Structure 1
Amino acid sequence: MGEAFTLGFIIPIMNICFLFCKFHFSKLYEASMSHDILKYAVVAIFFLVFNFVVATFSLKCFQLICFQYTVPVTSFFLDGRDHGYFIFLLVPITLALSLSADKMLSLKVLLVLIAEAIGSLVFCELMQLLTGLDVFSKYIISMLIVNIITPIENQYKWNLVINDQLAKVSLPVLLGSILITVIVCLYVAALQRKELLIKNLRYETDHDNLTNLLNYRAFSNYIIEISTDTSAVYTILMIDLDNFKGVNDEFGHLEGNNLLRAFTAKLSRFFSDRYSTAVKIFRFGGEEFCLVLKDVSIEDAYAKIWEFEELLTAKGYSTTTGKQVKVSFSGGVANTDQKSNIHEAIRNADAAVYLAKNNGRAQIICPGCVID
């Protein structure tokens, strides 16, 4: 009864505790480590110690090794292939160390340990081919099968017939595997829900509800982030819709909001298609917008903003009542160079916008551009 309790509960709980520690290490500390080698080294040290202790304990108590693939299988399905492959590689090492301490290690045993690790990894890869199953189902099936077929004392006795001793431990190992998978799945599902909630909250915090563009708070944070970046050139495009107050006065604020949504959708699509990840678009406030382009020349940005203005003017905006409204904007362009930093570039672009508006609107001014 004591052996069954240890196999079905104590050792599984030990594995669960290690997995929880690994999950928390990944979330809290891995991101702060600058080198991947350091991350893998820390995981390797802790796993080698843990698996050696569990394997030695299992050998002493039951003359067999069990649950040795709990951590690698879990890492493979829930942390990613890279983590999974790495920890699968460590399993034969820890088992060899444990068997060596009991003077049971030989070349033949080592080869069997390596073959067993490869076989377990191949089984997990085959499970990945089952596209009709979700990741949790694949994980559960792999855990149950791998944990049942690997704890065989004939690893070092070389008797390939399942004996009475193994039959006695199969049920506790199965129950222990079920315990591990249930708790781990519940825990990971809870983590995923929490991460999704945090992601949604972060999105709501950093995005404008009306236009879905990044908001002024996100703009401020981004400018702080890139203010010390001297390896790249940043071009600033400031845009202010012309006569927007007149649209609100004539058609109402709801129509004005519709116009803003239509305008920002076109703006986002136009620049995202042309610059992809090199552009960030912010709603600066009201009908004002700011685009920050990384490593895009000021002349190229100036040409593109004129191209967008011509496209916008040609199509205009149709209200919900079908009336056509001409949409134009005033723009200013500036960039960082050896003389001006990101904050000065923003001020220069903003000043150019006001100069454009004072000169009659529907203009784009770029004091630093060299126009052929």
Structure 2
Amino acid sequence: MFSWSYVLVFFLGTTFTILAEFQRMHSERDKDERMAKLHYESIRDDLTGLLNFRAFDKEINSLSHDVQDNDTFIGVLDIDHFKKINDTYGHLNGNIILSDFSKRLRADIHYNFDPHCAVYRFGGDEFSFVISTSKPQNMIDLLQKFENYYKTHPVTISNGTKVTFSFSCGITRHLVGETYNKALERADKLVYQAKKNGRGQIVVDDYLKEKTNNNNIDH
């Protein structure tokens, strides 16, 4: 004898199974999205959205094996007298300058070298970039244009004041077999040399001195 109760039980059981599976899949998707968001946030600078130091090793390792004929270069940039800017105009206005600087730096580098590049903010007014290229002169030309831009194009802060500033930059080639932090330390020392020499300039290592021919670079 046919019983509707069996049909109802079967229908309800199947429905509950489908709903449970849907809920499980939805929960796993939410978990994956949360993990992806946490990973993204863990390697990004809160203020500028640039990559941070946590992402440095991974990105540079990828770029150093990017193209066989390319060299990998590491640059460090430091805004000159940034503490004075903060003390004079306040930290919120200092953040406006950092945001403007980071957006233009990233845009210029990625426009010219993407996907063979990465741009970072390590904290404060210290930025870094990694570029994989076989034409270092193009990289130097770009950085000089970037330097000259901020010397002639002030950033407008919240009260309407236009702030002009410069930055010091050191660039070195990553050597085969050395740690990336070692190359970063060398670039840091070149930045200090740029500041010691009067700030607002780019200092490069001996390899770039031989490979580039612009007299405006301090070697």
State yes or no: 1:286 paired with 2:108.
Answer: no
CA distance in structure 2 between the aligned counterparts of 1:311 and 1:339, rounded to whole angstroms? 36
Instruction: Kindly state the Cα deviation for residue 291 of structure 1 after the two structures are TM-superposed.
Output: 0.5
Instruction: Kindly state the Cα deviation for residue 314 of structure 1 after the two structures are TM-superposed.
Output: 2.5
Equivalent residue for 1:366, pick from 200, 204, 209: 204
Structure exhibiting the larger radius of gyration computed from Cα positions: 1
State yes or no: 1:335 paired with 2:159.
Answer: no
Could you tell me which runs of 5 or more consecutive residues in structure 2 were left unpaired when the two chains were aligned: 214-219
In the TM superposition, 1:148-159 aligns within 5 A as none
SS of 1:277's equivalent in the other structure is coil
Cα deviation per residue 1:124-175 (whole Å; 9 max; x = unaligned)? xxxxxxxxxxxxxxxxxxxxxxxxxxxxxxxxxxxxxxxxxxxxxxxx6x98
> Which structure is higher in helix share?
1
Does the aligned pair in 2 maintain the 1:335–1:342 contact within 8 Å?
Answer: no
Cα deviation per residue 1:11-31 (whole Å; 9 max; x = unaligned)? xxxxxxxxxxxxxxxxxxxxx
User: Relative to structure 1, is the Cα distance of residues 184 and 212 closer, same or farther in structure 2, using a 3 angstrom cutoff?
Assistant: same
Q: Residue 183 of structure 2 corresponds to which residue in structure 1?
A: 345
Instruction: Kindly state the Cα deviation for residue 343 of structure 1 after the two structures are TM-superposed.
Output: 3.7
CA distance in structure 2 between the aligned counterparts of 1:344 and 1:296, rounded to whole angstroms? 22
Q: Residue 51 of structure 2 corresponds to which residue in structure 1?
A: 214
Instruction: Kindly state the Cα deviation for residue 205 of structure 1 after the two structures are TM-superposed.
Output: 1.5
Equivalent residue for 2:86, pick from 248, 254, 278: 248
Q: Residue 202 of structure 1 corresponds to which residue in structure 2?
A: 39
User: Relative to structure 1, is the Cα distance of residues 218 and 339 closer, same or farther in structure 2, using a 3 angstrom cutoff?
Assistant: closer
Normalised to the residue count of structure 1, the TM-score between the two structures is: 0.49
Does the aligned pair in 2 maintain the 1:235–1:301 contact within 8 Å?
Answer: no
CA distance in structure 1 between the aligned counterparts of 2:18 and 2:152, rounded to whole angstroms? 60
Instruction: Kindly state the Cα deviation for residue 332 of structure 1 after the two structures are TM-superposed.
Output: 0.9
Cα deviation per residue 1:218-249 (whole Å; 9 max; x = unaligned)? 225545x4598595632111100011011011
The structure with higher relative contact order (CA 8 Å, sep 6+) is: 2
CA distance in structure 2 between the aligned counterparts of 1:218 and 1:339, rounded to whole angstroms? 20
CA distance in structure 2 between the aligned counterparts of 1:341 and 1:290, rounded to whole angstroms? 16
Instruction: Kindly state the Cα deviation for residue 339 of structure 1 after the two structures are TM-superposed.
Output: 7.8
Does the aligned pair in 2 maintain the 1:298–1:335 contact within 8 Å?
Answer: no
In the TM superposition, 1:171-320 aligns within 5 A as 176=14, 181-222=18-59, 225=61, 229=65, 233-295=71-133, 297-320=135-158
In the TM superposition, 1:3-152 aligns within 5 A as none
User: What is the CA RMSD across the aligned residues, in angstroms?
Assistant: 3.0
CA distance in structure 2 between the aligned counterparts of 1:303 and 1:249, rounded to whole angstroms? 32
* Paired AA for residue 187 in structure 2: A
Count of aligned pairs between the two proteins: 205
